Amino acid sequence: MSNRSFFIVAGVLAVLVVVGGVAYAYDSSREDHIAEGVKVGGVDIGDMTADKARAKLERTLLEPLDDPIVVHKGSKKFKLSPKQARVAMNLDAMVNEALDRSREGNVLTRTFDSITGTGVDADLPARVTYSQGAVNRLVRRVKRSLNRAPRDATIRPTGTDLQKVASRNGLAVKTGLLREDLAQNLTRPSATRDIVVKTRHIKPKVTTNELVDKYPRYLVVDRNNFKVRLYRNLKLDKTYTVAIGAQGFDTSAGEYKIQSKQVNPVWNVPNSAWAGGLAGRSIPPGPDNPLKARWLGFNGGAGFHGTADVGSLGSRASHGCVRMAVPDVIDLYERVDVGTPVYIA
């Protein structure tokens, strides 16, 4: 190698050593600096020392989370404070992650990027933690306060009337959406601290408008006034005078349904002392059978039936059945079906 070539190579090497040394010294002086272009949770902390970046992240990310979250629906309000939710942010870990990202590559590339302002294009996640248990407890409180079961429309009969009980929609908190909203509010400084609870309506099985379809016929036995009232489409359609159970053989109060219908029924005599020699027998239609013309059973052995003893109507005279005039029981028989509700007041 000629002397000229030797000196050229030596000069180049010397320059490289100097440049490398300068680059190393410059890079070492910036070990505690975050590269330009680095963000955490959308907050720019580029070209900052670790301490300044930590202070900025605390001011812009953590402090806004100090306000309590208010969850509300109508007049109902529920609060969740950061202390209750155990909101925490690991600022040191986020700054260290930013420094590690800034130190990627080698001395020369880092120095070049820093001098030219090329920087690093990185937006690192903000590391916020909270208590899922606290969120679940709040969701349960909201559910207990706001959830409402639907109410089916129904009929509340009295001795003299049918009262409609209107249906009502139920309400259910959308718990999945509420948990998502809480998670966003607890971890995002820019999120609103106000959450409106989202709910859904639960329809009843029977609405008020469907009552007529559910109760096309309804029978009410008014024992005090010895009347049977037949309602058609929930409106009074017909009234009959009847006899009810004598003292000791009361026609039992309660809610029943027509269980069976018979034309010219056979009388299966109960095994009771009052039946005398007829007890346990089956009496066919005829003069010895007190069940005249029609039978509409509603409570085991009790039912509506015609009677030849029309003088007993309007009194307590039977052994628990509801006696009717023969034309009336035939008329009633044609108007109601098995399954028709029977209310005895």
Q: What is the pLDDT of residues 63-75, one digit of tens each?
A: 888 899 999 999 9
Last residue of a domain, one of 211, 246, 277: 211
Picking from 226, 217, 185, 223, the residue whose alpha carbon sits closest to that of residue 311 is: 226
- Please give the pLDDT value at position 259: 97
Asked if residue 336 and residue 223 are part of one domain, the reply reads yes
Asked if residue 317 and residue 264 are part of one domain, the reply reads yes
- Please give the pLDDT value at position 243: 98
Asked if residue 206 and residue 169 are part of one domain, the reply reads yes
Asked if residue 206 and residue 222 are part of one domain, the reply reads no
- What CATH number corresponds to the domain at position 227? 2.40.440.10
Asked if residue 154 and residue 203 are part of one domain, the reply reads yes
pLDDT tens-digit map of 148-200: 999 999 999 998 999 999 999 999 999 999 999 999 999 888 888 999 999 99
With respect to residue 330, please indicate whether it lies within any of the assigned structural domains.
yes
Asked if residue 203 and residue 220 are part of one domain, the reply reads no
Asked if residue 250 and residue 203 are part of one domain, the reply reads no
Q: Lowest mean pLDDT: which of 20-34, 139-153, 324-338?
A: 20-34
- Please give the pLDDT value at position 19: 46
Asked if residue 187 and residue 298 are part of one domain, the reply reads no
DSSP bridge partners of 282:
268
- pLDDT interval class at 100 (50, 70, 90): confident
Q: Decide which of 146 and 268 is more confident.
A: 146
pLDDT of 112 strictly over 80: no
Picking from 325, 336, 342, 326, the residue whose alpha carbon sits closest to that of residue 261 is: 336
With respect to residue 69, please indicate whether it lies within any of the assigned structural domains.
no
Ordered DSSP codes for 301-319: TEEEEEES-GGGTTSEEES
Q: CB of 324 within 8 A of CB of 204?
A: no
Say which DSSP state 232 is in.
E
Number of domains in the chain: 2
With respect to residue 97, please indicate whether it lies within any of the assigned structural domains.
no
Written as one letter, the residue type at 145 is S
Asked if residue 265 and residue 245 are part of one domain, the reply reads yes
Written as one letter, the residue type at 305 is H
Last residue of a domain, one of 174, 189, 211: 211
CA distance 181 to 69: 10
Last residue of a domain, one of 211, 242, 262: 211
Asked if residue 319 and residue 223 are part of one domain, the reply reads yes
Give, in order, the Cα–Cα distances in Å from 4 to each of 12, 14, 16, 94: 12, 15, 18, 54
Range of the domain at 138: 132-211
Q: CB of 69 within 8 A of CB of 84?
A: no
Q: What percent of the chain has pLDDT over 70?
A: 87
pLDDT of 344 strictly over 70: yes
Mean pLDDT for all residues in the chain? 88
- Please give the pLDDT value at position 4: 63
- Please give the pLDDT value at position 268: 86
